[in-house]
Structure 1
Amino acid sequence: MQGVRVIFGATSQEIMDAAVLENIFLLVLVTLLSVVQNAFFALKVEKQCTGSNSKQHSAAFERLSCATRNCMDTYPTFLAVMWCAGICLSQAPAAFAGVIYLVVRQKYFVGYMGQTCQSIPGFLFGKRVLFFLSLMCIVGIINYLLLNYAGEDYKDYIQTITKAASTLLLLP
């Protein structure tokens, strides 16, 4: 008999795996959605690259290429702070902020396809979302340290505030 059998025939390892998956499932979905978005960006650049070689086409290719590079430069930071915020503090607000970031990044990319000045609102909004996720990380880490070294756990209070504050990301 493998493992210890618990209620309904599930092993303790299966229950633990389900609990871990439950705590990161939304983060995984947002990460996969971001991968699809990256593929979309790459296809747009490739499509623009294989077209005609007119001067207007060259300028559009440069804008698309620059927008893609800018998005890829911030991508590791986005993933790191989203996962850290989700694991250290609360999955749902971190995933919500991640989805908002992806929408804003799409707006930035599409804005860059027109004129570079049209991308500024997306850029500024993206910075705000990354700041929120970074703040979630810091608060989660501080709460963990307080729990381990001072015996104080404020996670429930912080999660309530974070869930309420995450909706403020929708404000322009």
Structure 2
Amino acid sequence: MDTCTVVENIYLLAIITVLSVLQNVFFALKVEKECTSPNSHAAAIERVSCANRNCMDSYPTFMAVMWCAGVCLKQAPAAFAGLLYLVVRHKYFIGYMGQTSQSTPGYLFGKRILFFLVLMCLVGILNYLLAHVYGSEYRETVETFTSFTSTLLLIP
């Protein structure tokens, strides 16, 4: 397998990974700005720090399931779900800076996206095992189904 083929199979996942790193830098800068501002209140510092901590706690899980789903099944729906997750995580962070109750929709939608990515991982692994053990190839059907269901993430 040459380098171009490998990059074709993961470039969307790599783009989402770079975007997520940039988002983490943005969150860190927000925390630093809030902590060094002379007009900051202790409650505001605590909220922004807590929002950053919560985002960082779920970050390894997000990266693992996004890459697993993209590599084991198909990169386009996994990258789309990853992009949605970044938008939702940003909404969560900004909502948490206001009032913690404003962050609830972002949190719930983020859980749904992570659940979808976990399902993609499981389907991809199951598809590989079925193909390896039984010699049957269901990959095209599973990829079509996954591509279709990824648009269902947009439904509230």
| Band of TM-score, shorter chain | over 0.9
Deviations 1:124-146 (A, max 9, x none): 00000000000000000000000
Q: How many residues align?
A: 156
Shift in Å, 1:53: 5.8
Which has the greater radius of gyration?
1
The 5 A counterparts of 1:137-148 are 137-148=121-132
| Cα deviation, residue 114, structure 1 | 0.5
TM-score by length of 1: 0.89
The equivalent residue for 1:42 is: 28
Q: Counterparts of 1:168 and 1:61 in 2: how far apart (Å)?
A: 37
Q: Which residue of 2 aligns with 1:168?
A: 152
Task: Give 5+ residue unaligned stretches, structure 1.
Answer: 1-12
What does the per-residue CA deviation read over 1:22-57, in whole Å, with 9 as the maximum and x for residues that have no partner? 000000000000000000000000000001265xx2
Gaps of 5+ in 2: none
> Which segments of structure 1 move beyond 2 Å, counting only runs of 4 or more?
none
Other-structure match for 1:6:
none
The sequence identity of aligned pairs, in percent, is: 67
Matched with 1:8 is none
Matched, 1:77 2:61: yes
Q: Is residue 126 of structure 2 the alignment partner of residue 114 of structure 1?
A: no
1:90-120 deviation digits (Å, cap 9, x = unpaired): 0000000000000000000000010000000
Identify the range of structure 1 (150-159 vs 80-89) with the bigger mean alpha-carbon deviation.
Answer: 150-159
Is 2:124 the partner of 1:134?
no
Distance in 2 (CA, whole Å) between partners of 1:82 and 1:89 is 10
RCO higher in structure (CA 8 A, sep ≥6): 2
The CA RMSD measured in Å over matched residues stands at 0.9
SS in 1 for 2:114: helix
Cross-structure match for 2:8:
22
Distance 2:3 2:103 in 1: 42
Once residues 53 and 136 of structure 1 are traced to their aligned partners in structure 2, the CA distance between those partners, rounded to angstroms, is 46
